[in-house]
A and B are shown apart, each in its own frame.
Chain A
């Protein structure tokens, strides 16, 4: 069963930005899109482990700051032709707060 955890008020994550979140399951990157949707990925690029939370967000994709792999929020997959996957955690906004499930 998913265990929803409160992260922060939505305002604390910039639009088209992200925050790093330390948790019992390791470091997680929480992203906020232009439309105020939130997504959470393991903060580790499947390529060489770059911190995805430090990447540039566009649409529902983050570009890793290390070697510019593009990782998709909804399934964690790298955009082709790169191949690899970052773990996806369920995330939601409720009552102005960001929640993730570990």
Chain B
């Protein structure tokens, strides 16, 4: 098939991101031509301020070098401005006469700085702040001139002023409003910011309206005059009073424009052959000037250009962070509040800290942080997810680490990313320091957590440093940071569907195999990947037990081999000891096996059973056969499944015991044998409130009291310790089984793959779980029944493997 022609006008960040996303989805669909007015490849515009401040160089902020265009067969016309779109002939024409015809046209013309219509606006020495040429002009001017005036105290203006000050100029910031950054900050935060910028040597003139720019003898600008008659000297004037979407080209072609080029939720303009993304666009009446929304647009637009037709762009919540070294300001959402809003404010002026949270209808509507922005990323996530904060309201002000939002193991009291030295280790699993992460973000132009994970491995193993990595990302890229969409995040790169959508499709359409799911939901890869296949396999077998196909090749090796792979390629074997109980006969067999197969390490596990480590894969079936003779079965120490039920001695022996906890634990473990789950599941039963079985950090914790049992759920002793929450009190053993089983079935049916119970309950809320399991007897009975049905007839996987040992043995060639 002949390739379609795609022409892109505008070679900036939004456009190039769209091309990158498109090339990922459909690398061979289009022959691509790009026109850019600037004589450069695509560079990272948000890093211009660090270039101006001398903290980085232009070469370091190039995102797509010329080789990238060449490698992808993209014809780049750099330095050629398109002046005409001929929609009838489907072609564009550049100022130098270059023409290109298109089947699809992508407009990414960006925006232009707004220039105040005052006398003298065209004088030499008067510039805007928009691109690398402006940045270089400022650096050059600083070498020969001394008085700089920046008009406009917005984000860009302040960053320009700070850069010029560092370049050695005397800088005055002139602003029309009564306080600086009035579109991002309230007056209190703005005053604090102004004070610390004044301490850096900047001067401010507020409430001043520019009347005229006056030329000196050389013809260059020499002074600025205000409406009130006053004036100051100025031999460099930088206008930073806002941007305007570049719509002239589109308008001249008769494409409907308002504030920007009007697009729908698929980024299509009124001409179906023409798409538009970036700052030139008006979407639902909003034109965005920050990079994060533009990337969201790029992803959706690319999907539609690739003819996949999935995804809508529905607008963005944006956040702002000032990139001035040593000053931390963050704002997001509706930070001024007003009708129907309440403010929570913390102000400590002498420490230079001010925080204001705006609450509306039990959700966070906006936030302004000054001086301590460490929790900015966390607040932004709450805001974006519109999470109900009623439960955490009393400590909301104190940040994510007070309410379990941010993993900070190993970083206690040290989780303020900005204050960390470059040498501080952030990711303890992969040994990644803060400096490595910052460098990767800058040199590779990374904007998302996933990008950082791919390039540095930080936060890609246990995930406990995710919050910290997000903070580092947010403080390095500022307003360009967009937290991951935790609710609607696609399962993996093979699909655009989120976990919830996939689960619903499997249930509603009764899909019974992985290929069927992939066909139904339009998977982008033929076989999926190591991320989605295990998830799909779990969703299938948990939704349609005894009916759906269980595909061993879609399980992680541990579940495929029914043992835990170790770093040297050997395996560990953990036989089940129900409730942590064993017998001399079992111990004898374990000892015999350990000797017979020369097991190098025999260890007690945290789950009160014995681990045999260092067994060769080929020996596994014979080991299991020997263990099986004494009645020992798989302990599933390797699976996303029921692991252990830990018990204390209980009323059987203990003088304090109120309930027979060992007995209860064995009953629970026998009931749950063979239960697969979104993640591992651990239980504990204690015989009295002294809680020696440590039930407070288990997925289900049972604590015996004189009148029955208390049930606790969603605890976690691992990566980030979570204390289990009280669900209800029950009267007897059979109620323990029913309520625990119903809760676990709810989690099995609704949890996302690799989501522990603590994360699941945090997502849906404890009240929801109680409503299903405690308050609604009919629902509880159904859940319990479905759990028992799913577990019916489960065969010990070791016994099954003993019958078919073939695949465990390595092949030999001479």
Contacts and interface: CB of A to CB of B under 8 A. Distances in A.
Interface string A52-74: 00111111010101111010000
Interface in A57-102: 57-59, 61, 63, 65-68, 70, 81, 100, 102
Interface in B23-78: none
Nearest to B551: A16
Nearest to A100: B813
A54 B122 CA distance: 69
A56 B811 contact: no
B525 A59 contact: yes
B734 interface: no
Interface residues of B, number: 31
Nearest to B529: A58
Contacts of B810: 19-22, 27
Contacts of A58: 525, 527-530, 533
Contacts of B554: 16, 56
Interface residues of A, number: 38
Nearest to B806: A12
A70 B534 CA distance: 16
B533 A56 contact: yes
A15 B814 CA distance: 25
Interface string A13-42: 011110111111001001001100000000
A8 B811 contact: yes
Contacts of A24: 813-814
A20 B811 contact: yes
B718 interface: no
B556 to A, nearest CB: 7
B814 A5 contact: yes
B525 A56 contact: no
A33 B525 CA distance: 14
A56 B535 CA distance: 13
A60 to B, nearest CB: 9
A50 B811 CA distance: 18
A54 B561 contact: yes
B557 interface: yes
A24 B814 CA distance: 7
Contact of B553 (A16, A27, A50, A66): A16
A40 to B, nearest CB: 10
Contacts of B457: 67
A51 B567 CA distance: 9
A34 B527 contact: yes
Contacts of A63: 529-530
Interface string B426-468: 0000000000000000000000000000110100110000000
Contacts of A17: 552-553
A59 B526 contact: yes
Nearest to A67: B461
A22 B533 contact: no
A48 B557 CA distance: 17
A34 B526 contact: yes
A22 B565 contact: no
Contact of B530 (A23, A55, A102): A55
A7 B813 contact: yes
Nearest to A8: B811
B526 A21 contact: no
A27 B561 CA distance: 19
A99 B738 CA distance: 55
A66 to B, nearest CB: 7
Identify which of B461, B530, B534, B814 gathers the most chain A CB atoms within 10 Å of its CB: B530
B807 interface: yes
B765 interface: no
Contacts of B228: none
B525 A21 contact: no
Interface string B801-814: 00000110011111
Contact of B567 (A22, A59, A66): A66
Interface in B315-355: none
A69 to B, nearest CB: 10
Interface string B771-814: 00000000000000000000000000000000000110011111
B232 to A, nearest CB: 51
Identify which of A19, A56, A68 gathers the most chain B CB atoms within 10 Å of its CB: A56
A8 B811 CA distance: 8
Contacts of B528: 58
A21 B565 contact: no
A51 B811 contact: no
Contacts of A66: 565, 567
A55 B557 contact: yes
B569 interface: yes
A24 B455 CA distance: 37
A56 B556 contact: yes
Contacts of A67: 457, 461
B534 to A, nearest CB: 8
B64 to A, nearest CB: 15
Contacts of B455: 81
Given A56-B533, A59-B526, A65-B565, A22 B552 contact: no
A50 B565 CA distance: 10
Nearest to B454: A81
A22 B557 contact: no
A16 B457 CA distance: 27
Given A21-B810, A54-B565, A14 B530 contact: no
Given A20-B811, A100-B813, A65 B527 contact: no
Nearest to B561: A54
Nearest to A18: B553
B623 to A, nearest CB: 18
27 contacts: A6-B813, A8-B811, A12-B806, A14-B553, A14-B807, A16-B527, A16-B554, A17-B552, A20-B810, A20-B811, A22-B812, A24-B814, A34-B526, A50-B567, A51-B565, A51-B569, A54-B561, A55-B530, A56-B534, A56-B554, A56-B557, A57-B527, A58-B529, A58-B530, A65-B557, A65-B558, A65-B565
Given A12-B811, A56-B533, A68-B460, 16 more contacts: A8-B811, A17-B553, A21-B812, A24-B813, A30-B811, A54-B557, A54-B561, A56-B530, A56-B534, A56-B554, A56-B557, A57-B553, A61-B529, A63-B530, A66-B567, A70-B530
A-B CB proximity, top 5 nearest: A63-B530, A58-B527, A20-B810, A54-B557, A56-B530
Interface of A: 5-8, 12, 14-17, 19-24, 27, 30, 33-34, 48, 50-51, 54-59, 61, 63, 65-68, 70, 81, 100, 102
